[in-house]
Structure 1
Amino acid sequence: MTKHTANTQIDAHQHYWDPARGDYGWLTPASSTLYRSFGPADLAPLRARCGVARTVLVQAAPSVDETWYLLDLARHDDSIAGVVGWVPLDDPLAPELIAELAREPKLRAVRPMLQDLPDDDWIAKADTAPAIEALIAHDLAFDALIFTRHASALETFLARHRALRVVIDHGAKPPIKEGGESTLGFATWSQAIARLARFGQVHCKVSGLVTEAAPDWSDETLRPWVGHLLANFGAHRLMWGSDWPVLNLNGDYERWHASAQRLFAHLGERERAAVFGGNAAAFYQLPLRADLAG
């Protein structure tokens, strides 16, 4: 019986999808290498080579049907420790839907895909309070998929719901292509991160950074951005994720995992274990038993 230990590596952010399902509006034949099915069998050898035991499977379509699809995958694959699904948070029936989904033991959070909404301030203005209270009541968390431009609205939301556990995906997608610490983009992003980190209920994923970098990225390209996340959130509120297979657009699983290991190599063993698994297990309250499937 597999259990989490202090050294169990968990990928806190990855995706599986099947374009034939028809609910991935962003996924078209123009998406090149991403326009195909990706499932557990594709990721398994990559995880094995990196020593990653389990993952958090994150939604990639704004549909309840996809959430059920992911939960069904999770029932049949012990490597999926938890699922981040999607619900229409501003729907009056959202609390009932959340209650239904919460019966699934591997449903651990929801994500509204804020980056794709036409209104950057939606999360501050929409009537989501009943749904958020339902998330809190069922001990579910919230993934915030944002760019820097969403930070102010997210702050308003965070101040309103301090009992909600929130994780910022992909370090708020920093403008790494623009350059390092001397750029205006870094200054704006870094100030937003510092403000968000002041909320104690907020964690952050060190994921998706490779996708935001130029193709010739290296450890040194990512170091100032990762360093700022570490300085503000500390090792106890950061979690490593691959963002696979989106990662394949600008890198690969083993290369990013090795780079992240080097970028956090200066930390103590306990802190590294937290970033590469322990924090994800605690934040998402992942089931201890790998064979817990419902």
Structure 2
Amino acid sequence: MIRSVDAHVHLWNRATDPQPWIDPVTMAAIDRDFAHGDLERMLDSTGVEVAVVVQSINSAAETRRLLTQPGPRVAGVVGWADLTGDVAAQLDELDAAARRRLVGIRHLVHVDPDPDWLGRPDVGAALDRLAAAGLGFDLVVRSWQLPLAATVAAAHPGVRFVVDHLGGLAEADDDDGWEAGLRELAARPNTYAKISGLAGLVSRGEGARLRRAVGVALEAFGPDRLMYGSDWPLAELGAGPVAWRGAVDELIGELSPAERQAVVSGTASAFYRLGT
């Protein structure tokens, strides 16, 4: 059994996979490349056994590199595929080893030029094909996109969805609207959520907002549909991965041992089918 899983980390080499969104002034802490050695040191510092590496750009080439350059602490890769194209053909292009490492697919929905991308009929058909292939789908959306995500999840009950970063709370300007959207999504039993992407709330001293957010998530999803993620290296822009892990441990401290284990390992292992 995997003791602990960081369900959301990134690796990038900007020579092959540029990250133009990184501002060298305001994001100096992550204005560099991050490789497997960096990941291992981060995991050691947070006391986590393995991680799921998540795509950072909508690029088949990046996904191939992540899949063909495995590290010893990488339990799986959430890659990218063109869901408006022939998904089955794209998966068939992967060799057996790469296919085993691929545990999910993500598209940067929150920055897609088409605000209705997630609701497109061809995307819906592709989501069903992902489910048939045993792959889940990571939802990276802003809070205002949560109602659409809930509609899509209801329309595709065979697809397993996990919403990253608690549905974009950190960027939300209406916490009540965010809460309503997250609860609407959580009402679909095929949806899960990552307690991730919120290290900035710790560094900004927004403890009450963070406690409310995790409390809402625990009530709406329950521990068996929640998973811990550091969102490293982006966590370096906030409190850092060590402080973030400590904050999560404190926030789930009143749960039972079995419930805490679900959040830090069991849910991610089951959702991504790690170690199978």
- For the criterion TM > 0.5, the same-fold answer is yes
Give 1:154 shift: 1.3
Secondary structure of the corresponding residue to residue 67 of structure 2: helix
Contact (CA 8 Å) 1:83, 1:107: kept in 2 or not?
yes
Give 1:127 shift: 1.6
Closer, same or farther: CA 247–113 of 1 in aligned 2, 3 Å:
same
Closer, same or farther: CA 164–64 of 1 in aligned 2, 3 Å:
same
In structure 2, the residue matched to 1:47 is 43
Q: Which amino acid aligns with 2:262?
A: A
* TM-score, normalization by structure 1: 0.87
Match of 1:187 among 133, 158, 176: 176
| Alignment of 1:9 onto 2:10 | no
In structure 2, the residue matched to 1:85 is 79
Secondary structure of the corresponding residue to residue 8 of structure 2: strand
Q: Which amino acid aligns with 1:143?
A: D
Q: Which blocks of at least 5 consecutive residues in structure 2 are unaligned?
A: none
In structure 2, the residue matched to 1:273 is 261
Contact (CA 8 Å) 1:176, 1:214: kept in 2 or not?
no
Closer, same or farther: CA 68–49 of 1 in aligned 2, 3 Å:
same
Give 1:221 shift: 4.1
Larger RCO: 1 or 2 (CA < 8 Å, sep 6+)? 1
CA deviation vs aligned residue, 1:18-40 (integer Å, no higher than 9, x gap)? 11114434235454222211012
CA deviation vs aligned residue, 1:167-203 (integer Å, no higher than 9, x gap)? 000001114786xxxxxx1110000011000110100
Once the two structures are superposed, the pairs formed by residues 216-227 of structure 1 within 5 Å of their partners are 216-217=204-205, 219-227=207-215
Match of 2:56 among 49, 55, 60: 60
State the distance in 2 between where 1:188 and 1:138 align.
34
Contact (CA 8 Å) 2:10, 2:56: kept in 1 or not?
yes
Contact (CA 8 Å) 2:232, 2:241: kept in 1 or not?
yes
| Alignment of 1:283 onto 2:271 | yes
Q: What is the RMSD of the two structures over their aligned residues, measured on CA atoms?
A: 1.9
Q: Which stretches of structure 1, 4 residues or more, deviate above 4 A after TM superposition?
A: 175-178
In structure 2, the residue matched to 1:120 is 115
Once the two structures are superposed, the pairs formed by residues 17-36 of structure 1 within 5 Å of their partners are 17-27=12-22, 29-30=24-25, 31-36=27-32
Closer, same or farther: CA 109–270 of 1 in aligned 2, 3 Å:
same
State the distance in 2 between where 1:284 and 1:163 align.
15
Give 1:214 shift: 7.2
CA deviation vs aligned residue, 1:7-61 (integer Å, no higher than 9, x gap)? x010000000011114434235454222211012112223123220000000001
Give 1:160 shift: 1.9
State the distance in 1 between where 2:205 and 2:53 align.
26
Once the two structures are overlaid, the 10-residue window that deviates more, 231-240 or 40-49, is: 40-49
State the distance in 2 between where 1:232 and 1:24 align.
34
Closer, same or farther: CA 115–177 of 1 in aligned 2, 3 Å:
closer
State the distance in 2 between where 1:258 and 1:218 align.
15
CA deviation vs aligned residue, 1:67-119 (integer Å, no higher than 9, x gap)? 01111232xx221001000011012x332102334842110000011011122
Secondary structure of the corresponding residue to residue 137 of structure 2: strand
Secondary structure of the corresponding residue to residue 167 of structure 1: strand
Closer, same or farther: CA 177–112 of 1 in aligned 2, 3 Å:
closer
In structure 2, the residue matched to 1:95 is 88
Contact (CA 8 Å) 2:193, 2:225: kept in 1 or not?
yes
Contact (CA 8 Å) 1:109, 1:284: kept in 2 or not?
yes
Closer, same or farther: CA 146–96 of 1 in aligned 2, 3 Å:
same
